[in-house]
């Protein structure tokens, strides 16, 4: 995978792109380096002079997980942040330790998955909708599971939640989870894995459109039976190794 440090330059000039801050690092003096994930140009390292101290020029727009409109200048030496306008700071997410940790894991997964300077608008939308779901106080494990499955789908790696990964037929009753995905009862009959009783829930969590997902997920807030989503997050993370 191409390192984020190896991005090629844009043609010299001024640019404006919407996006979010994936990572922030202090550099020399009052400058900082920002890893921005932006519409149309993907992930880029950007220098932000005057970003520290009392005279921070950019305010909350350069906080990790902030979403903003970034005004940039590509010079001969590098890409610089000129100004930024906050679109959403997700303060409600930051105020909840559980939601904050879950969102940080999602951001880390994006950073590890993206290829530098590749346009990734579909993934940017997935991340945006994930933050909106956290902001709506949807259960963290359900949102994180949905994020991982949809990110895998965007990469072409997501296991099917409707068809058997061996024979391709509909899963039917009592499918079983394998290292390659879900098996129908026939293909999975010889495995020691327990039948997946939660199939309808993991399908809903992954495949409902955003509005319907939020409505459904918020109803699960106090449902202890939703704790199994943590196990399915672990199962999905294995599929990212095929991309590294």
- Whether residues 82 and 151 share a domain: the answer is no
Q: Do 84 and 38 meet the contact criterion of CB atoms below 8 Å apart?
A: no
Task: Quickly list DSSP for 75-136.
Answer: -SS-EEEEEEEEEE--HHHHT-HHHHHHHHHHHHHHHHHPPTT---HHHHHHHHHHHHHHHT
Is 12 among the domain residues? yes
* Structure token digits, residue 216: 């459904």
User: pTM to 2 decimals?
Assistant: 0.90
The residue range of the domain holding 224 is 136-242
pLDDT category of residue 222 using cuts at 50, 70 and 90: low
pLDDT digits 0-9 by tens, 10-64: 899 999 999 999 998 877 666 789 999 999 999 999 998 877 766 677 888 899 9
Is 222 among the domain residues? yes
pLDDT digits 0-9 by tens, 55-76: 677 888 899 999 999 999 999 8
> For the domain that residue 23 is a member of, what is the CATH number?
2.40.50.140
Q: Among positive and negative, which fits the CA dihedral 75, 77, 83, 87?
A: positive
pLDDT digits 0-9 by tens, 88-107: 999 999 999 999 999 999 99
Is 220 among the domain residues? yes
* Of 15, 9, 23, residue with least CA distance to 71: 15
Q: Round to whole Å and give the CA distance between 199 and 181.
A: 12
């Amino acid at each position: 995978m191409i390192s984020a440090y190896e991005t090629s330059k844009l043609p010299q000039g001024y640019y404006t792109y919407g996006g979010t801050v994936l990572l922030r690092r202090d550099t020399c003096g009052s400058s900082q380096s920002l890893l921005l994930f932006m519409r149309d140009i993907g992930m880029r390292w950007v220098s932000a002079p005057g970003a520290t101290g009392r005279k921070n020029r950019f305010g909350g727009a350069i906080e990790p997980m902030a979403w903003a409109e970034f005004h940039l200048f590509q010079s001969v030496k590098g890409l610089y942040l000129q100004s930024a306008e906050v679109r959403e700071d997700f303060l409600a997410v930051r105020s909840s330790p559980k939601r904050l940790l879950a969102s940080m894991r999602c951001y880390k997964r994006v950073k590890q998955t993206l290829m530098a300077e590749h346009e990734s608008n579909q993934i940017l939308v997935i991340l945006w909708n994930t933050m909106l779901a956290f902001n709506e106080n949807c259960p963290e494990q359900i949102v994180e599971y949905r994020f991982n499955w949809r990110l895998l789908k965007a990469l072409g790696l997501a296991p099917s939640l409707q068809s058997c990964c061996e024979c391709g037929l509909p899963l039917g009753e009592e499918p079983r989870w394998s290292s390659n995905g879900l098996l129908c009862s026939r293909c999975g009959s010889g495995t020691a894995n327990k039948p997946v009783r939660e199939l309808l829930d993991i399908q809903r969590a992954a495949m409902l459109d955003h509005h319907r997902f939020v409505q459904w997920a918020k109803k699960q807030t106090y449902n202890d039976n939703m704790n199994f989503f943590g196990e399915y997050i672990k199962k999905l993370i294995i599929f990212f190794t095929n991309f590294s």
